[in-house]
Structure 1
């Protein structure tokens, strides 16, 4: 699983790759805009469930998300 200090980088990289605003990304994950904002600004860490959702999203992206899966989720 991703290291806590890396979660902000992961979320920002993924959101930018998908070309989504924080609000759009939050809606996609079923969380609030302030939650995504706190994650990206390192004021909070995603829950295990949120990280599972993010991992699932990367898996759905196929080849375009493979590098992020490898970077943040390989053990």
Structure 2
């Protein structure tokens, strides 16, 4: 089932990844409208924008998100 809105439930799961990677929550922007494909990019102000995936189940998408963030910050 497609995700139609990013709620606190999804944000808290993303925060778990950020905490594990040592990234401040203040350094991240999470739009409340999910998109396909979801992903992460660095904004002009240096913050990470995390666009939550709308089609893939969150549990399946989060490991990919963690890999993408790691690649952007030089962890992988």
TM-score bucket (shorter structure): 0.3 to 0.5
TM-score normalised according to structure 1 size: 0.36
Q: Which has the higher strand share?
A: 2
Higher RCO (C-alpha under 8 Å, 6+ residues apart)? 1
Q: Which has the higher helix share?
A: 1
